[in-house]
Structure 1
Amino acid sequence: MLDRAAGVIVGQACGDALGAGYEFGPPLDDAVPVVLGGGPNTMGWAPGEWTDDTAMAVPLLRAAAAGWRFDGSAALAEVIEQWRVWARTARDVGIQIRAVLADIPQSTEADARAAAERLHVERGRSGGNGSLMRTGPVALAFLGADPGEPSALAAAARRVSELTHWEHDAGDACVIWSLAIRHAVLTGEADARVGLGALPAERAARWAALLDEAETRRPRDFEQNGWVVEALQAAWSAIHAASDPVDALERAVRSGRDTDTVAAIAGQLVGAAHGATALPPEWRSRLHGWPGLRDAELVALAEQAAGRALG
């Protein structure tokens, strides 16, 4: 179980780094190999370097490792402050997230939520994939056996999402994915539908249909994968059709466009189901990124978070 818990963040980082060089590019033909450090690499990522996807997940991972359950403003304030510090020098920050972080006067939950809501009202939407890409570590704080854990996780996942993404779609996606990750860590099974019951009935029916659609199409068919709905569909499509974790991440990268994020999202769940040790050692040995961490540090933090949650 600890290996699967570590797999959440290691799988995310592997998918993120694998997709980094192919971001903004077109879908890849099945005959084209997907290589760590490959692709046009317009952002100048080093082989094995993770991007904003995993960088934003690290403060959440640290919080979970410290025993926080994302149900208090003080804990969230520390996460927000780390995001703001990261964004000052990061080379790759999503447009929506940069706008929200720039509009936060102080690193408080209230200020972040207000900024996220303002952006949503001004633009009429805020359903980017930037909260889904970081949600994996939230699940690690809720691995306990108490019957109320799934409900508590659903509330925490939505609360963390709304720090930057006010739209229901973003919160719903984080609820679905976080509950699927929890289930996978505990059972070794990847099932994207286990969290549908945590959504209002009408929205649950919509998401059930979206998952059905994902299972009948290829990741590359979801052309708007910067939108949280199609990012989740593309990731689930890759996982559902894959023969193993590597195949799932390669399929996610072949989707094109927002490749690092789709692969990071997929990596959270395949890592949770199969464990960190199921991912190639040659990938893991090269993993690195903000704030100066490598594979071993990610594993240690994830195991600490899981250990606290499991008691």
Structure 2
Amino acid sequence: MTGAGGGDGGATAIWGRSEQQDFRSRVRGCLLGGALGDALGAGVEFDSLAAIREKCGEEGVTDYVPAYGRRGAVTDDTQMTLFTVDGLIRAHVRRDTGAWHPPTDVHAAYRRWAATQRDWGPDERRADDGWLAREEWLYARRAPGNACLSGLADARMGTLEQPKNPDSKGCGTVMRSAPFGLLVGWEPGLVFQLAVECAAQTHGHPTGCLAAGAFAAIVHTLARGEDLDTAVQRALVQLAARPGHQETTDALKRALGAVRQGMPSPERVAALGEGWTAEEALSIGVYCALVAEDVRHGLLLAVNHSGDSDSTGSVCGNLLGAMHGETSLPPGWVAEIEGRATILELADDFAMEMTQGPALHEPGSASPGWLARYPRA
């Protein structure tokens, strides 16, 4: 095939020690930052701004609001993001067998996530599932989107030619797509394409797919050390060549325009939408990251609005974390986040695979421990 599944991702990066450390910090920041935004919005996801202020005070959310029986609980946004990472690692490991089709490996990972939404716990008999699918805390239903569930309900993989849920453009594509942008050794166009192809596995509307591609492209530029405005402008260039791009392009341009309209406020966020659709979640997340004084300010702005607060918070957190690294994140929030050990372990595995993969596995041999974590099957 043509597209992301048929290429090799571009030139392999050459990593010195300082570059490896910087990359790991950005990967950790991206995944943890997304989880923080997700958790800050989880307790008010379905509330209006008026209801949020009635519940939390005039300033709205200023700290974790208990959800799912605890502070710092994450939702399907973080769950699916982690399985995106798992699928990308598995794709690189499985390449040793001669098989190279990352959308297939990401789809298999999403199917493992879908099992966490219907099963009581991990099936220890399924050794090929790898370590992430054996994390019991992930077996929790946290308001998953219907399109994600129905798109993964059977084994057929949605493609751009035959997508699942062809009329759906929900934000479930965007909220899970930051990890594609962390493939910093890949060419930007292939990163965009891979995110688009994997979005079609659950949401087939062009806007749902292209918003995911644009988000991945923005994260990709940030993870390479450039600024957010530059990242958005480059994503707009990529979008312009894609049929059906106008909704996503307009949403990003509205985010850029809102920056110039004065001091950030919940009302300016509301003018960008509620975040239930892919382009609105992307627009709100980008706007809040652009105007953020620091990570805390950006995340609170991203969740204090009427709409899909956990998804917009997650997108904003992914961006800020990729931009500034893990040490920029508020330590008090990091300390309480659900699944922190798993998130950090997976982030470090991803960074190690991307920077030192040849030392972990090659066609003729591999670290037994690595294959136990990320089986080639």
Q: Structure 1-normalised TM-score?
A: 0.83
C-alpha change, 1:209 and 1:276, in structure 2 (3 Å) is same
Secondary structure in 2 aligned to 1:187?
coil
Give how far 1:220 is off: 2.4
2:160–2:200: 8 Å Cα contact kept in structure 1?
no
Aligned ranges 1:1-311 → 2 under 5 Å: 1=22, 2-27=24-49, 28=52, 31-38=58-65, 41=67, 44-66=68-90, 68=92, 71-72=101-102, 74-89=104-119, 90-91=140-141, 92-102=143-153, 104=154, 106=155, 110-113=156-159, 117=163, 119-120=165-166, 125-140=167-182, 142-144=183-185, 149-190=187-228, 191-201=231-241, 207-217=248-258, 218-289=268-339, 293-308=341-356
1:176–1:193: 8 Å Cα contact kept in structure 2?
no
Secondary structure in 2 aligned to 1:195?
helix
- Give a deviation string over 1:273-306, Cα, whole Å, max 9, x none: 01111001111111224xx954432442342354
1:4–1:188: 8 Å Cα contact kept in structure 2?
no
Secondary structure in 1 aligned to 2:284?
helix
* One-letter identity of the residue aligned with 2:116: W
Secondary structure in 2 aligned to 1:119?
coil
Secondary structure in 2 aligned to 1:288?
coil
* One-letter identity of the residue aligned with 1:133: M
2:91–2:102: 8 Å Cα contact kept in structure 1?
no
Give how far 1:85 is off: 1.2
2:181–2:216: 8 Å Cα contact kept in structure 1?
yes
Give how far 1:37 is off: 2.8
Secondary structure in 2 aligned to 1:199?
helix
Give how far 1:255 is off: 2.1
Secondary structure in 2 aligned to 1:126?
coil
C-alpha change, 1:31 and 1:306, in structure 2 (3 Å) is farther
Query: Which segments of 5 or more consecutive residues in structure 1 lack a partner in the other structure?
Result: none
Secondary structure in 1 aligned to 2:233?
coil
Give how far 1:57 is off: 1.0
Report the aligned-residue RMSD.
2.9
Matches of 1:236 and 1:279, distance apart in 2: 17
C-alpha change, 1:98 and 1:77, in structure 2 (3 Å) is closer
Give how far 1:212 is off: 2.6
Counterpart residue number, 2:131: none
2:164–2:202: 8 Å Cα contact kept in structure 1?
no
1:19–1:263: 8 Å Cα contact kept in structure 2?
yes
Identity among equivalent pairs (%): 25
Count of aligned residue pairs for this structure pair? 293
1:8–1:271: 8 Å Cα contact kept in structure 2?
yes
Matches of 2:159 and 2:255, distance apart in 1: 31
C-alpha change, 1:49 and 1:186, in structure 2 (3 Å) is same
Of the structure 1 ranges 233-242 and 186-195, higher mean CA displacement relative to structure 2 is found in 186-195
C-alpha change, 1:229 and 1:302, in structure 2 (3 Å) is same
Give how far 1:213 is off: 1.6
C-alpha change, 1:188 and 1:310, in structure 2 (3 Å) is farther
C-alpha change, 1:270 and 1:74, in structure 2 (3 Å) is same
- Give a deviation string over 1:169-228, Cα, whole Å, max 9, x none: 011111111111011011142232222222344655654443232234422223441011
Secondary structure in 2 aligned to 1:25?
coil
* One-letter identity of the residue aligned with 1:82: R
Q: Structure 2-normalised TM-score?
A: 0.70
